[in-house]
Structure 1
Amino acid sequence: MTQAQAKQRTADYMGQALADLPQPVATAGERENGTNCFRNDAPSEYDGRVVEVTERRLSGIPGDRQAEYVERLRTRIEAMGFRQDDSGALRTSAHFTNSTDQFTGSIDGIGSSYGTLVIGFSSPCVWPDGTKPPR
């Protein structure tokens, strides 16, 4: 998988997750950039791979309906093949992993009184052009 394909997949997952949320809700870009991956044997040294990230801030969620939004998102994310990593009840965030492609998802801000949640999807580490360069 290339960096561009990883970015597209995070955007696709986001679109699916937000497709049928109850209204009112406003979405705004939170983070659209990737980050570098580190070598396993030298955790302060970049290895040339990248992680792509797509995050959206959802605002305007009525306080008395936040649980409904969280449950709708959780159900939708799990329907896309992700499984919740956390054991037990949701706290202030929930984290998910798709075992098929190793992408991750998250819901942050659960229980916040600000009427805002942050939804994110991240790729696993990928080589920018899809293959490890020769050394």
Structure 2
Amino acid sequence: MTQSQAKQQTADYAGQAITDLPQPVTTASERENGTNCFKNDAPSEYDGRVVEITEKRLSGIPADRQAEYVEHLRARIESMGFQRDDSGALRTSAHFTNPTNKFTSSIDGIGSSYGTLVIGFSSPCVWPNGTKPPH
């Protein structure tokens, strides 16, 4: 998978997750960029791979309906093949991994009184052009 394919997949997942959200809600881009991956044996050295990230901010959520929004997002994320990573009750965030392709997802801001949630999707580490460059 190339960097651009990974980016497209995170954007597609985010779009699917926020489809048919209960109203009222306002969606906005929170983060649309990637970050570097590090070498396993030298965690302060970049290894040339990248992680692509897409996050959406959902605001204007009525406080008394936040659980409804969280449940909607959880169901959508799980319907895309993600499995919940957390154990126990929801705290302030929920984390998911797709075991098929190793993409991850999160819902942050659970329990916040600000009427805002952030949903994110991240790719696994990928080589920008899809293959490891020769040394």
Shorter-normalised TM range: over 0.9
Question: In the TM superposition, what whole-angstrom CA distance separates every residue of 1:30-79 from its partner, at most 9, and x where no partner exists?
Answer: 00000000000000000000000000110000000000000010011001
1:89 has 2:89 as partner: yes
Give the gaps of 5 or more residues in structure 2. none
Q: Which residue of 2 aligns with 1:60?
A: 60
Question: For 2:103 and 2:96, how far apart are their aligned partners in 1?
Answer: 8
Question: For 1:12 and 1:76, how far apart are their aligned partners in 2?
Answer: 13
Which AA in structure 2 matches 1:9?
Q
Question: For 1:35 and 1:19, how far apart are their aligned partners in 2?
Answer: 27
Question: For 2:103 and 2:34, how far apart are their aligned partners in 1?
Answer: 13
Question: For 1:120 and 1:76, how far apart are their aligned partners in 2?
Answer: 13
Question: For 1:21 and 1:67, how far apart are their aligned partners in 2?
Answer: 12
Name the % identity.
84
Q: Which residue of 2 aligns with 1:107?
A: 107
- Paired residues for 1:1-135 under 5 Å: 1-135=1-135
Question: For 2:119 and 2:75, how far apart are their aligned partners in 1?
Answer: 13
Which AA in structure 2 matches 1:67?
A
Question: For 2:56 and 2:19, how far apart are their aligned partners in 1?
Answer: 13
Question: For 2:45 and 2:131, how far apart are their aligned partners in 1?
Answer: 19
TM-score (norm 1): 0.99
TM-superposed CA distance for 1:20, in Å, is 1.1
Question: For 2:60 and 2:114, how far apart are their aligned partners in 1?
Answer: 8
TM-score (norm 2): 0.99
RMSD value, Cα: 0.4
Question: For 2:64 and 2:75, how far apart are their aligned partners in 1?
Answer: 19
TM-superposed CA distance for 1:108, in Å, is 0.1
Which AA in structure 2 matches 1:53?
I
TM-superposed CA distance for 1:89, in Å, is 1.1
Q: Which runs of 4+ in 1 moved over 2 A?
A: none
